[in-house]
Chain A
């Protein structure tokens, strides 16, 4: 089934996301989609923007200091210190309070989870966020401060370190950054899904189905085509596309009767319901048919 779902999401959403599966303590395996690198960068930039706004507001509080004769470097030091505190608290607080999401991650539909499927321990959240400080902000801050006493070689070494660590997610399968490796976490993409109506019920009118199909007609397609049809019925691109699909199905299964233009939806709905009934019935008896090219085969229970 997993490969059917993989092909479908590639067909329908146009992207093939990298999937991993985790096992919950109850023993149910759940497929999770890894967050793409772009999503993570955008979530990070959003978080940076929110933090920047927070630090800016805090800075408004210390503006009076500047008018009371305090030196510029001292003000800068205070600002850097405030930024440091806000940064440490921001990520850790939100990932603890919002089940592994910061505001930026929430907007991008991302979550931090335990890589092996267990509970997300507070120590993991703290470790991954403190490591961010080590791997990125500290070298960057020192590089940006352009402290002349460090010398060019050290400046370049810091820049090299920052870039190498920031590029780490590019070089491993699970897009882990150093903090994820140490904290045992992984970032996944988890948009919220809604439960829609059952098409097999909507396909039927009060007097039952208008169109009938023989078992041999229903034995042609498999789960892949059924679920592609489901998607088409839920989000029909245009009436023309529906007619086209209707024609293809009729030719494939050898359905002789002509279908009027206004009956296309009804025909497809009835075909979906009948096909699903047939395939699910087969599945109950251990015969899973993945698609039209594969034979119906006994499936090992997942």
Chain B
């Protein structure tokens, strides 16, 4: 052992021999991964798709071995980098936007909604309580109306409006395609989606603001009804609201339930850590909220366009029943087969 050590060609390092034996496979994996990174999974041939996971696993095991026998920094960093890149390709998403969206609508969304029916029931109870409170307040004293309904939503309707004026708003003539479907529907969509999204986003603040926002929106709705009931227009208002209201209120309730799920998982994370619990349930809740935004979009189109097209109360009720039946069937039955 006291003999001076000379590295020579015959006794190449163990790590160098290890590397020489596997280098070709690494380069092959590297080439495939680079190709996928550049132009997608579709560029791999059938046999390459089968080979890729095998090469990935052998690179991962090479990394484990190299960490124990090699001190070549470049080699270690390269293998770690290669394994990580290959890992992202092997375990990365394999489906595109369109297919995911279709799958989400076909079963992900309704299943997620079914999963949060407790929260949905709470949200509905809060909204209903708000509506009843708003109705009885305004019915007992009309001056509460201005307090409960913000002026930009009332559209000029208030305690001073006569029955005729109220009727005129409910059965306004159709102002034309562009004005209704594009401008008004867009305004309504943005306003409603904002309310819904705040209901969801404020779930982060432990749910209290979500509940308050819901109760307040319920109260405004109740106040509106009380105002029209005074003029004997309750049924006509119901028709007017319900054209879009079924879709819109459902969407609002869904946003609020998703917000309540978030706040529940922050308050009571269960056996997981708060972040893990949020990540697991938040994904589902965000899915529901984004589905609800889609529903707001539909509601905006109904409200801005169809309401003016169907200008009699029975017709509106028929349309409303159709949407109610559609949503009920969708959320109760869609995608059941895929659940385990």
Contact = CB atoms under 8 A, between A and B. Distances in A.
Interface stretch (A201-209, A244-252, A258-266): A201-209
A213 B23 CA distance: 30
A199 B72 contact: yes
B140 interface: no
Contact of A97 (B1, B96, B287): B96
Contacts of A203: 7
A258 to B, nearest CB: 17
B7 A200 contact: yes
B97 A230 contact: no
Contacts of A118: 91
Contacts of A201: 12, 16
Contacts of A99: 36-37, 88-89, 92-93
A190 B201 CA distance: 31
Interface string B2-42: 10111111001111100100010011001000101100100
A104 interface: no
Given A126-B290, A130-B290, A204-B7, A284 B69 contact: yes
B60 A214 contact: no
A218 interface: yes
Given A74-B178, A209-B7, A200 B72 contact: yes
Interface string B44-73: 000000000000010011011001111111
Interface in B238-284: 275-276, 278-280, 282-284
A166 interface: no
Contact of B4 (A77, A93, A149, A214): A214
B286 A182 contact: yes
Contact of A126 (B64, B81, B100): B100
Contacts, number: 226
B78 A213 contact: no
Contacts of B148: none
A62 B81 CA distance: 46
A47 interface: no
A274 B6 contact: yes
Contacts of A149: 152
Interface stretch (B126-134, B189-197, B224-232): B189-197
Contact-residue size bin, chain A (C-beta under 8 Å from the other chain)? 35 or more
A95 B83 CA distance: 20
B80 interface: yes
Contact of A130 (B34, B82, B284, B289): B289
> Which one of A122, A142, A274 has the greatest number of beta carbons of chain B within 10 Å?
A122
Contacts of A273: 7, 13
Contact of A93 (B57, B83, B92, B96): B96
Given A24-B87, A192-B85, A276-B71, A181 B279 contact: yes
A200 B80 CA distance: 20
Given A123-B287, A149-B152, A230 B282 contact: no
A192 B23 CA distance: 17
A199 B7 CA distance: 12
Nearest to A188: B84
A95 B100 CA distance: 13
Q: What does DSSP make chain A's interface, helix, strand, loop or mixed?
A: helix
A26 interface: yes
Given A120-B92, A196-B74, A93 B85 contact: no
Interface string A1-13: 1000100100000
A194 B9 contact: no
B286 A131 contact: yes
A213 B223 CA distance: 93
Contacts of A280: 13-15, 69-71
10 contacts: A24-B83, A70-B178, A127-B282, A181-B275, A181-B278, A184-B283, A193-B77, A215-B5, A280-B14, A280-B71
Q: Which 8 A-B pairs have the closest CB atoms?
A: A184-B279, A182-B282, A208-B8, A212-B4, A119-B91, A99-B92, A127-B286, A227-B73
Interface of A: 1, 5, 8, 24-26, 28, 30-32, 70, 73-74, 77-78, 80-81, 89, 92-93, 95-101, 111, 113-116, 118-127, 130-131, 134-135, 138, 141-142, 149, 178, 181-184, 190, 192-196, 198-201, 203-204, 206, 208-209, 212-215, 218, 223, 226-227, 230-231, 234, 270, 273-274, 276-280, 283-284, 301-302
Interface of B: 1-2, 4-9, 12-16, 19, 23, 26-27, 30, 34, 36-37, 40, 57, 60-61, 63-64, 67-78, 80-85, 87-89, 91-93, 95-97, 100, 104, 108, 152, 178, 182-183, 186, 190, 193-194, 197, 200-201, 204, 275-276, 278-280, 282-287, 289-290, 293
Given A1-B67, A96-B100, A230-B72, 19 more contacts: A24-B87, A77-B183, A96-B95, A96-B97, A97-B96, A99-B36, A116-B276, A122-B100, A123-B283, A125-B93, A126-B100, A138-B197, A182-B285, A195-B78, A214-B2, A218-B5, A270-B7, A277-B5, A279-B71
